[in-house]
Amino acid sequence: MSDPQMTGRLTGVMKKINLEDGTEARGYRAILISQQKQYLKGFAFDKSVSLDGVFVAPYIISNTVPRDAATLTVPAFNPANLINAPSGATHFRLTASAGDVDHTWPVESDQCGPVVTDHVKPE
């Protein structure tokens, strides 16, 4: 879930990353997420609720060397002590998702699709 301003906040972060590319002119700047990770570190989809504020149990996130899989490890814990649940909550679910920027396609780029190098005009 996210708060109503999440899209605007994420757009603002992407703009900051975009402006870090000082090598290209406006309109040609790259959004190099892999080189500006600090802007996304700790980004919360809901600014009023953070994972660390609700789930205070210890956990470890690890990934494989090729970064094609990740593991979230949570040792056994007492939920009454390590979950700050909202009033009236009786259950909780922990769902994890991981992502990585593909550094191989296209080479040295953070784009999510093929690079168009030539434009074809229809006849």
How do residues 73-122 score in pLDDT, each as one tens digit? 999 999 889 999 888 888 888 887 777 665 544 444 454 444 444 444 44
Bridge partners of residue 55, in order along the sequence: 83
Q: Which helix (H) or strand (E) element contains residue 61?
A: strand 60-63
| Assessment of whether the complete model's pTM goes beyond 0.75 | no
Backbone φ and ψ of 36, nearest 5°:
-130, 45
How do residues 22-58 score in pLDDT, each as one tens digit? 888 888 888 888 788 888 888 888 888 888 888 899 9
